[in-house]
Amino acid sequence: MTGCRTAGSADRAGDLDPAVFRSVFRRHAAGVAVVTAAGERPAGFTATSLTSVAATPPLLSFGISAASSSWPAVRDARYVGVHVLGEHQEELAATFARSGADRFAPPTRWRTGPHGVPLLEDVSGWLVCHVSARVAAGDHHIVIAEAVEGAGDGPGGPLLYHQGGFRRLPGRRTLPPAGA
């Protein structure tokens, strides 16, 4: 198998071919979110690394590249906005993923929310989060934040990222009622 380590090499860091690592994660479907922060100008980026960390207190994490144009605003922000995108928001996800784009210009619809955080309109769900920690991790930073306000009643099924592109679920299954 290409990219496999032998038992003797498992304790050495840096042996894995980065192309193998990327190939594995292209096969991992991830939800799509946009993280925003206030600053001199609003900043935001598309994230597929959003993770629920704990329910009590309500903690989440996401990763951001140290080279991202949004990193300085996220680095300095006390609060960030986390927006879970719906299947109808591929263009919004692409706008916030595009380098050099004016992400908050029309047609992006947004408003200033609690704690001055830029909030995107028509998302499936949003949270305003107090940043608890920032941890350097390779060429990225992991941000841990506690949700303090939010809503999860927006339109649409989930937007996913898989195999290098945005995807929609082909059909939504509903679970049978409990006890059925």
pLDDT of residue 132: 98
Tell me which residue range forms the domain holding 52.
Answer: 34-158
Count of structural domains within the chain: 1
Length reported for the chain: 180
Amino acid identity for residue 93 in this structure: A
Domain membership of residue 170 (yes or no) is: no
Instruction: Note the pTM of the prediction, 2 decimals.
Output: 0.84
Question: What is the CATH number for 119?
Answer: 2.30.110.10
Sheet with strand 59-65: strands edge to edge? 43-47, 33-37, 79-84, 125-137, 140-151, 59-65, 51-54
pLDDT of residue 12: 59
Domain membership of residue 7 (yes or no) is: no
**Over the stretch 19-35, which tens digit does the pLDDT of each residue have?**
898 888 887 778 999 99
Given pLDDT bands bounded at 50, 70 and 90, which one contains residue 68?
Answer: very high
Domain membership of residue 80 (yes or no) is: yes
Given pLDDT bands bounded at 50, 70 and 90, which one contains residue 3?
Answer: very low
Domain membership of residue 65 (yes or no) is: yes
On the question of pLDDT at 98 being above 80, the answer is yes
Domain membership of residue 101 (yes or no) is: yes
On the question of pLDDT at 4 being above 50, the answer is no
Domain membership of residue 95 (yes or no) is: yes
pLDDT of residue 6: 44
Contact 83, 129 (CB under 8 A): no
Contact 127, 147 (CB under 8 A): yes
On the question of pLDDT at 149 being above 80, the answer is yes
On the question of pLDDT at 10 being above 90, the answer is no
